[in-house]
Structure 1
Amino acid sequence: MARSNNMQDDAATPSDSPSQRLAVAGPPTIRDVARLANVSIGTASKALNAGGRLSKETRENVLRVAREIGYRPNDLAQSLHRAKSRTIGIISNDSFGRFTFPIVEALEERLAEEGIAVFMCNATDDPARERQHLDQLLGKRIDGLVVTARRADKRPPIGPLAHGLPVVYVFSQADDPGALSLLPDDEGGAVLAVAHLAARGRKHIAHVTGPEHFEAVRLRKTGYRAALAEAGLPEIDGFYLSGVWSEAWGREAVAKLFSRRERPDAIFCGNDQIARGALDALREKGVSVPGDVAIVGFDNWDVMTLAARPPLTSIDMNLKALGREAGDSLLDMIAGGANSGVKRRPCSLVVRESS
């Protein structure tokens, strides 16, 4: 059998350097594997599919090159090919599901309208597990990927590992200006909450919230301050308290606020758990809600809001709307559309007896 000067079928000469192996433009193909492993396409195919009679060295060299450039035999390099699988993947680190479930429910409903099925994987904040799930999803020849989380802070982009696969981040954002991230408008939600309290005649509005290393906390603080300024209300020293996401912190924060000479007549809480704790503490002190102090939470989690005494006014992040938009965006990207940037969607105010 004739052989070319730079290709061979049963032996392999490694490429010049690791950096040369990684010099692949676009989604890697079997041609890239063959070129960088210095073998024919036929030999590369045999090595990747565990077929043919090849030397151990040749097979290992081909597999090593494929790993280095991220080639997988089942990857679909063209969106036309991808569309045939009619499936998408979801990777989440929200093991509790408080934020993911409404998003995924709406996403699945939207994709089902187009006859597309969903594979969901839980990465639990473990990069190695996330990579394993991604490998498995790519092996299933998914058409696109949705990445979601239990918090909306920035994370490393998954895009480079997906080799051109359409990816949408929802209630999650990639540290990549070329990625599409769909998020609730935390700052706007805080403005809604404080403006509502001001419209009810409250003059001394405190803000009790979670840890400041969360982007949502910082954005809600910005909204709180902006709404106070817009209403012409003072930003009182000591009325902003940052702690943890828990009912215990809500109770502790009320104790701090009521140990002061100047006390609040309203409290905007960073989530519904904090608000529930604040309600309990006020009731124990004999403080009337909303008569003496009005309370507004954030998340509109019915487990918390409807069981609160009194039922809790809260900001709804409209997670189902985010999930449906994620589905629309992914379908558009699979069809060849371009979509990128951070897009924040409006929250809404759900008024109940606490305010």
Structure 2
Amino acid sequence: MRRQTIRDVAKAAGVSISTASNALNGTGRTNAETIERVKRVAEEIGFRPNALARGLLTKRSHAIGMLTNDTYGRLTLPMAAGVSEVLVDHGLSVFLCATNNDPRLARLHLETLLDRQVDGIIFTATRLDLKPPPELAKLSIPVVYAFAEGPADRISFFPDDAQGARLAVEHLQALGRSHILHITGPEDYLAVRVRAKAYRECVNSNAEVLYGDWSEEWGHEAIEQIFSRHGKRPDAIFCGNDEIARGVIDALRDKDLAVPRDIAVVGFDNWEVISRQTRPPLTTVDMELKEIGHRAGLAILGLTQGETVPTGITRLPCRLVVRQSCGGPPT
């Protein structure tokens, strides 16, 4: 079947081509009855506007680019879903481009997005202290940073890691856990240092933090380190991510210790592939990535429509998802 054109719509609705175009684009002085008839006919015959022609008319591509270094999409896909939910009702599409931390690939993707004349760009990263491509700051189109920090005069959204860490520790304290240990990822990550600082503020300024990898293997190894020492064992463990937490729980089980009866465990991320399947299911901190995407989508939409959007950093609150790995007070 051939593609239906504006000429077909006009003929079926009994109006001129210019009137049909005005009715569908909301331009001119077409009366309400004609607009309704033209739109109804366009839907009935399966007419879809030509995006290129529409772009020439409105001076917009009705597309947003998302540039990310997140190869596997663990962080970016939930944010992209949030962005898309905001933009789809406004007729905007999203092009997602992964850079794989390769500056050359980032430049190529950026050039492609600019060649497509996207109306704006959202940049996302896998860590808050990763520097965005410097070219972004020089663009004349709107740029918003999500889970990344842009220049002071731009708009950035990321999770409040300190608040998230406090949620986890204070929940354990409310359950009566008094010897809480923190096992987390590499110390060179800004988020790791921010969470560790918040943990110490809740527990003890001199409390030990065990730094390692973002892996289940590190969770196992950390438990071996702890239990090879003499001294009081923890009654709760706050982990830097869900993978570490699952490794910790498996290692405790190997030592015939029950979670949460003997030791309560809390993770961070709420990566449901892991947190729901852990045994017992894992209490964890959700960074609300989809909401970050929502906020970034609303910001880029406002900017493309010529609205004034406040610049600077917005830290969005995390949420504690309570499951069975914490239980009640220690026995």
Check whether TM > 0.5.
Answer: yes
Q: 2:311 aligns with which of 325, 331, 340?
A: 340
Query: What is residue 241 of structure 2 aligned with on the other side?
Result: 271
Instruction: Calculate the aligned-residue CA RMSD, in Å.
Output: 1.7
1:23-45, Cα deviation, whole Å (9 max, x unpaired):
xxxxxxxxxxxxxxxxxxxxxxx
Q: Find runs of 4+ consecutive structure 1 residues off by over 3 angstroms.
A: 80-83, 156-162, 234-237
1:8-53, Cα deviation, whole Å (9 max, x unpaired):
xxxxxxxxxxxxxxxxxxxxxxxxxxxxxxxxxxxxxxxxxxxxxx
Deviation at 1:154, TM superposition (A): 3.7
Q: Is residue 172 from structure 1 mapped to residue 148 from structure 2 by the alignment? A: yes
2:210 maps to a residue whose letter is L
* SS of the residue 2:71 aligns to: coil
Q: Is residue 254 from structure 1 mapped to residue 223 from structure 2 by the alignment? A: yes
Q: 1:137 aligns with which of 104, 113, 138?
A: 113
Q: Is residue 240 from structure 1 mapped to residue 209 from structure 2 by the alignment? A: yes
- Partners of 2:57 and 2:133 lie apart in 1 by 24
**Percent of pairs identical after alignment?**
48
Query: What is residue 223 of structure 1 aligned with on the other side?
Result: 198
Unaligned runs of 5+ in 1: 1-79, 229-233
Q: 1:102 aligns with which of 69, 72, 78?
A: 78
Tell me the TM-score normalised to structure 2 length: 0.78
Query: What is residue 175 of structure 2 aligned with on the other side?
Result: 200
* SS of the residue 2:156 aligns to: strand
CA contact (8 A) 1:83 1:143 kept: no
Q: 1:214 aligns with which of 189, 207, 213?
A: 189
* SS of the residue 2:232 aligns to: coil
Query: What is residue 4 of structure 1 aligned with on the other side?
Result: none
Q: 1:147 aligns with which of 123, 127, 149?
A: 123
Tell which has more relative contact order, 1 or 2 (C-alpha 8 A, sep 6+). Answer: 2
Query: What is residue 323 of structure 2 aligned with on the other side?
Result: 352
Equivalent residue pairs, number: 269
* SS of the residue 2:91 aligns to: coil
1:325 maps to a residue whose letter is R
* SS of the residue 2:145 aligns to: strand
Q: Relative to structure 1, is the Cα distance of residues 160 and 283 closer, same or farther in structure 2, using a 3 angstrom cutoff?
A: closer
Instruction: Report which stretch shifted further, 80-89 or 180-189.
Output: 80-89
Tell me the TM-score normalised to structure 1 length: 0.73
Q: Is residue 286 from structure 1 mapped to residue 256 from structure 2 by the alignment? A: yes
Q: Is residue 311 from structure 1 mapped to residue 287 from structure 2 by the alignment? A: no
- Partners of 2:248 and 2:59 lie apart in 1 by 51
CA contact (8 A) 2:62 2:118 kept: yes
Deviation at 1:84, TM superposition (A): 2.1
